[in-house]
């Protein structure tokens, strides 16, 4: 079920589009549901679809097309490290290796305590701050060094 707060937020997004174009709010609505639940279950996707009045499959195909949506449970903190060219040139690989070592997982995996999920990501449009990562899609950390990663992990722990 979508919470009252989630519905209020979705309504604000709906006001951006013509009344007969409720589908246009699906990206925001899925994002709002994901922030609330941590990921998008089949039920959450169906709830979003029902609220917008679109077929479940229309919401699912959006959720599965865009890579910031999670269709399976992830850790409390999802860390997505950009490894594209500008970050690669400034040793994003070293940041990934450091995180893998510290967390004891490989990219794509979640720690046993369910706290961290580690990911590699594509260009985030912030190459001047390379190397960088996103925490739960919305919080960017730039100019990373192994030392800064350690401080960040302590802060999140």
Partner 1 sequence: MSGSFNQVCFRTVGLPNPASLKTYRSVGGYEVLKRIITEKIPAAEIIAEIKLSGLRGRGGAGFPTGLKWTFMPRNYDGEKYLVCNSDEGEPGTFKDRDILRYNPHQIIEGMAIGAYTMGVKTAYNYIHGEIWAEYEIFERALDEARVAGLLGDNILGTDFTFNLYAHHGYGAYICGEETALIESIEGKKGQPRFKPPFPATYGVFGKPSTINNTETFASVPYILQHGGQNFLDLGVANSGGTKLFSISGHVEKPCNVEVNMGMPFPELLALAGGVWKGRKLKAVIPGGSSVPVVPADIMMQCTMDYDSIVKVGGSMLGAGSVIVMDETTDMVKTLDRLSYFYYEESCGQCTPCREGTGWLWRVVRRIAEGKGRMEDLDLLTDVSNNISGRTICALGDAAATPVLSFIKHFRPEFEYYIEHGRSMLKA
- The span from the CA of 42 to the CA of 34, in Å, is 12
- Residue choice 53, 125, 155, 157 for contact with partner 1 (CB under 8 A): 125
Q: Whole-number minimum distance, CB 67 to partner 1, in Å?
A: 4
Nearer to partner 1, 140 or 153 (CB): 140
d(CA 152, CA 135): 10
| DSSP one-letter code for 74 | -
Q: What is the CA angle 27-29-32, rounded to 5?
A: 110
How many Å apart are CA 129 and CA 142, to the nearest integer?
A: 5
Task: From 2-10, 77-85, 107-115, 149-157, give the range in contact with partner 1 by CB under 8 A.
Answer: 77-85
Which of residues 63 and 99 has its CB atom nearest to partner 1 in the complex? 63
Residues that bind partner 1 (CB under 8 A): 16-18, 21, 23-28, 30-31, 52, 54, 58, 61-62, 65-69, 83-86, 88-90, 121-130, 134, 137-140
């Amino acid at each position: 079920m979508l919470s009252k707060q989630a519905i209020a937020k979705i309504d604000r997004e709906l006001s951006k589009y013509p009344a007969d174009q409720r589908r246009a709010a699906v990206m925001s609505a899925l994002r709002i549901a994901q922030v609330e639940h941590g990921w998008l279950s089949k039920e959450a996707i169906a709830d979003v679809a029902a609220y917008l009045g679109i077929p479940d499959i229309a919401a699912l195909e959006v959720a599965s097309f865009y890579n910031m949506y999670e269709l399976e449970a992830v850790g409390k903190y999802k860390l997505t490290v950009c490894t594209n060219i500008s970050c690669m040139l400034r040793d994003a690989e070293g940041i990934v290796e450091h995180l893998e070592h510290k967390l004891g997982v490989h990219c794509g995996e979640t720690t046993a305590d369910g706290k961290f999920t580690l990911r590699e990501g594509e260009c985030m449009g912030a190459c001047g701050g390379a190397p960088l990562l996103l925490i739960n899609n919305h919080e960017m950390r730039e100019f990373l060094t192994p030392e800064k990663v350690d401080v960040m992990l302590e802060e999140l722990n």
